[in-house]
Amino acid sequence: MSTPIALRNLTHDRRRALSAVLGVGFAILLIFMQLGFRAGAERGATLVYDQLEFDVVLASPQYLFVARPRTFARPALSLALDHPAVQKANRLYVDYGRWRNPETRERHGLLLLAVDPEERPFRSREIDDALQALRHVDTVLIDTETRPEFGPQTPGTETELEGRRLTIVGRYTMGTGFVANGNVTMSDQTFARLRGRTLDRVSLGLLTLAPGSSPDDVALELNRALPGDVVAVPRSRFEAAEVGYFLNVKPVGIMFTTGVLVAFVVGTVILYQVLASDVQAHLREYATLKAIGYELRSIYAIVARQGILLAAAGFVPAWGVSLLLYYLLRVHARVPVEMTPGRLSGVLALAMLMSWSATLLALRKLRRADPADLF
Amino acid sequence: MGRTPVAWRNMTHRPLALAGALAATAFAVLIMFMELGFLMGLFDSQTALLRRLNGDLVVVSAVRKNLVVDETFPRARLAQAERVPGVGTAEPVYIEFGLSLVTNPQDRVQNPVRVIAWDMRDDPLDIPELGEHRDELRLLGTALYDRASRRFVGSFARSSETEIGSRRFEIVGAFALGADYYYDGNVVMGAESFFATFPGRSREDVALGVLRLEQGADASEVGDALRAQLPADVDVLTRDDLVAREIDHWRRTTPVGYVFSLGLVVGFVIGVAICYQILFDEVNAQLSQFAMLRAIGYEDAFVSRIVLQQSVFLGGLGYAIGLLLTGGLYRGLTHVTGITTELTAARAVLVLVLTLAMSVVAGHLAKRRALTADPAELY
């Protein structure tokens, strides 16, 4: 067996190797962390819509984002149903409300969703079935992702929402990301009593289309027929706009996007710097190899292998710590962030690319130099 | 002629390597500043209004545990508070958010902003720009616009017209408070305009009560007296305690507070570790020079001083470059997000201390190697 020169080179000065692995690892961790933050904001933006069944949505032209949808007049839904491709037109009411924690008596703001339980507007059968418990007025279902400050979530718990006494009659799991700290769903009848309003103004109309019809075409046709206080938007465009609002308009999204950009620049430079200075430090050894007759190509191979070893040694622990960070984010911040294969392989590719460019640049000296000069 | 600046020459004789090490150190510093800026920007912006309150003690509803939840208390509590010895004045502040849409005069889009109102004869908020507009603001339908609001809320020239709620308003001037993570902007108006615009609001329901004490009164004693004498539906806090409570709310119970706190901790560990790695590496790369110095008879103290000097030079210079980059980053963030991201002296010093500490530790470890190595072995 041939001597594993790359490995020996790395390990003969253990403290130095450890310090380089540390530098590489932390640069990679930084990139993973910032990417994770941003991905959480991105995925979190559409958590509510992910649970709802619709192909085209009706919304006010003044719609901002899920918690600030504004309203339009209800007859637009009947108009939409006149379109041959529209099979269902469900109503969704969205608002903020003040929820009293029955144990501490404190009040906290959360997101309210109200639907007609008969319409079964959710994608998941479990939630639609749970809605059936809302037939009695002044009952709510609570999202299990609601933060602990809102108090107990067990069915039967009595509390107050906007000063009105309510009973929790069930639970579902949805999550609201950066939108809100909690979420409850109620029947439209309860919502009307809570707000002291009729149900004539709707936040969103959820349209389901006949199989095979194109949401883009239907939305276009609907917009010709509908009054000016409402617009029809295909689901994909609606969700893309929601994500865009969180990432590009909300301060938190802009901070995360900035974080990702800075992390990439900084992480790349530091990866390069650590790897290049490692090659630099071993230049004498390579010069010796050159002097005793090794071909330049095989020296390159050794150094490249060494760079990959170093990048990999830093990558693995960074990956592990990132998984821990993502777990903490899911549990404590309730932000939906997972390590996707795309992110994993993208960051790995970046580390490898940096390792090779560091090798190539650092070895230019070796190619030109007389080995003896390097001493 | 002075002595040869060995540390300096050592560093600069390989300019490319030096540039690499400096860039990496500067970027490690930038990472620390960036994460610090995110978290402090959150805390600063969420408490900007509270820090402007012009009083020693503040009365809030007992169920109002943070500023963004809309809870009010009866105005009678302020009259009761004024009767407590030591209290000079008790002034109400009213806030509307749900219904306060402001029409952007440029694109006609209505955006929700926070409307802050009080009787213009009172002085509950420290708004320096208010002075000249106080009389104008007593007229119905006049308001001051926060020019540090998000840019999409619109730009309002003096005397420009807009709608707030569904009422026509004249913007008579501007002040600077700033957006936060909840509110995209602010408007200040007189109490008369406020109640005419938002008929659902009542003068009797107060958002914040600002108490100023009589000369010589002790805030904590008067606070205790107020808490003892006022009914349990209100809390009485010093302004600083209210600010601390607001920060605590954002740090502990909001996703963004958790994410930025985690970012700060991990960012500092990363920044400090990378600082150390780069500095140690750079000094380590020159171990043979140090060995040479020892071999030709220089004393250990001399060599170790040079190693340390060099490490601290690198750290300090890297920090200075990082600080410059941070200035640009903070200005950009403030401009784009409306969140005032400020580089205070305390924050600058915190990162400086961390960077220099890492320089010393890295230099110290490299120095030990320089002194323990057999000169011959290093060749």
Strands of chain B, DSSP E: 57-61, 73-74, 87-96, 101-103, 110-112, 114-118, 142-146, 160-164, 167-175, 186-190, 205-206, 208-213, 234-238
Of A19, A258, A259, the CB nearest to B280: A19
Q: Per the CB < 8 Å rule, is B281 touching A258?
A: no
d(CA B174, CA B187): 9
CA A330/CA A31 separation, integer angstroms: 18
pLDDT digits (tens, 9 = 90+) for B187-227: 999 999 999 999 999 999 999 999 999 999 999 999 999 99
Sort out which chain B residues have CB atoms less than 8 A from A328's CB and list them. 262
Q: What percent of chain A has pLDDT over 70?
A: 97
Chain A contact probe: residue of B281, B292, B367 with most A CBs at under 10 A: B281
Q: Is A355 helix (H, G, I), strand (E, B) or coil?
A: helix
Q: What is the pLDDT of residue A80?
A: 96
Mean pLDDT (chain B) is 91
- Has residue A369 got a pLDDT over 80? no
Using an 8 Å CB-CB cutoff, list chain A residues near B109.
Answer: 62
User: Which of A38-42, A44-48, A90-94, A270-274 shows the lowest per-residue confidence on average (mean pLDDT)?
Assistant: A270-274
Q: Is B61 exposed, middle or buried (0-12, 13-18, 19+ CB in 10 A)?
A: buried
Q: Which of B38, B255, B281 sits opposite A19 (nearest CB)?
A: B281
Identify the pLDDT of residue A373.
Answer: 64
Q: Is B16 exposed, middle or buried (0-12, 13-18, 19+ CB in 10 A)?
A: exposed
Chain B residues in contact with A270 by the CB 8 A cut-off are: 24, 27-28, 274, 278
- Contact A98/B280, CB-based, under 8 Å? no
pLDDT above 50 for A1: no
With an 8 Å Cβ cutoff, are B281 and A332 in contact? no
Tell me: pLDDT of B363 over 90: no
The answer to whether residues A158 and A102 touch, using CB atoms and an 8 Å cutoff, is: yes
> Each residue of A125-174: pLDDT tens digit?
999 999 999 999 999 999 999 999 899 999 999 999 998 999 999 999 99
Q: What are the CA-CA distances from residue B255 to residues A68, A104, A295 (Å)?
A: 19, 21, 57
Distance CA A93, CA B311 (A): 62
Please give the Cα distance from A317 to A312 (Å, whole number): 9
Distance from A123 to chain B by nearest Cα, in Å?
A: 26
Interatomic CA distance for residues B362 and B279, integer angstroms: 6
β-partners of residue B235 are B60
pLDDT of residue A268: 87
Taking 70 as the threshold, does the pLDDT of residue B11 lie above it?
Answer: yes
Tens-place pLDDT, residues A49-65: 999 999 999 999 989 99
Are A37 and B336 a contacting pair at CB < 8 A?
A: no
pLDDT over 60 (residue B44): yes
Chain-wide mean pLDDT for chain A? 90
Instruction: Check residue B1 and give its pLDDT.
Output: 44
Say which range, A72-76, A257-261, B61-65, has the weakest mean pLDDT: B61-65
> Which residues, 6 or more positions from A134, have their beta carbon under 8 angstroms from its beta carbon?
A117, A140, A141, A169, A170, A185, A186, A187, A190
Give the tens place of pLDDT for each residue, B104-156.
999 988 899 999 999 999 999 999 999 889 999 999 999 999 999 999 999 99
In this prediction, residue B220 carries a pLDDT of 93
In the 8-state DSSP scheme, what is residue B20? H
Q: B66, B69, B149, B259: best mutation site toward chain A, by most A Cβ within 10 Å?
A: B259
Q: Which residue has the tokens 């700290």?
A: A181
Which residue of B31, B109, B266 is in closest CB contact with A325?
Answer: B266
Q: Is the distance from CB of B50 to CB of B243 less than 8 angstroms?
A: yes
Give the pLDDT band of residue B373 (cuts 50, 70, 90).
Answer: low
Those of residues 185-224 in A touching chain B at CB distance below 8 A are none
**Which residue of B152, B274, B337 is in closest CB contact with A270?**
B274
Structure tokens of B165?
């709620």
By C-alpha distance, the chain A residue nearest B72 is: A107
% of chain B exceeding 90 in pLDDT: 69
Task: Tell me phi and psi for residue B59, to 5 degrees.
Answer: -100, 130
Closest chain B C-alpha to A281 CA, distance in angstroms: 6
Across the interface, whether the CB atoms of A37 and B285 are under 8 A apart is answered: no
Q: Find the mean pLDDT for residues A204-220.
A: 96
Provide the percentage of residues in chain B whose pLDDT is more than 70.
Answer: 97
Q: What is the pLDDT of residue B136?
A: 93
- Residue A142: enclosing H or E segment and its boundaries? strand A139-143
Asked if B30's CB is within 8 angstroms of A332's CB, the reply is: no
Contacts of B64 in chain A (CB under 8 A): 107
Q: What is the pLDDT of residue B374?
A: 64
Kindly state the average pLDDT of the residues A334-357.
Answer: 90
Set of chain A residues whose Cβ sits within 8 Å of the Cβ of B333: 254-255, 258
* pLDDT tens-digit map of B228-281: 999 999 999 999 999 999 999 999 988 999 999 999 999 999 988 888 888 888
According to the model, what pLDDT value does residue B45 have?
96
Chain A 111-140, residues with CB within 8 Å of chain B CB atoms: none
Q: Does A19 touch chain B (CB under 8 A)?
A: yes
Element (H, E) at B233: none
Per the listing, tokens 């029947």 go with A187
Is pLDDT at B46 greater than 90 in this prediction? Answer: yes
Most confident of A5-14, A77-86, A262-271: A77-86
Of A247-251, A331-335, B67-71, B328-332, which one has max mean pLDDT?
A: B328-332
Give the model's confidence band at A298: pLDDT under 50 very low, under 70 low, under 90 confident, else very high. confident
Say what angle helices A341-368 and A14-44 make with each other, to 10 degrees.
Answer: 140
- Is the predicted pLDDT of residue B2 greater than 60, yes or no? no
CB distance B266 to B39 below 8 Å: no
Residues A344, A347, A353, A358, CA torsion sign: negative
What does DSSP assign to residue B60?
A: E
Residue A152 class from Cβ within 10 Å (0-12 exposed, 13-18 middle, 19+ buried)? middle
d(CA B92, CA B75): 7
Residues in chain A: 375
Read off the pLDDT of residues A35-49 as tens digits, 9 standing for 90 and up.
999 999 999 999 999
More confident residue, A43 or A285: A43
Question: pTM for this structure?
Answer: 0.90
B285-315 pLDDT tens trace: 777 777 778 888 888 888 888 888 888 998 9
- For residue B370, pLDDT beyond 80: no
pLDDT band at B162 (very low <50, low <70, confident <90, very high): very high
Q: Where are the alpha helices (DSSP H) in chain A?
A: 5-12, 14-44, 47-50, 75-81, 125-131, 188-195, 215-225, 235-244, 251-281, 283-291, 296-328, 341-368
Grade residue A371 by pLDDT with cuts at 50, 70 and 90: low
The pLDDT value recorded for residue B375 is 62
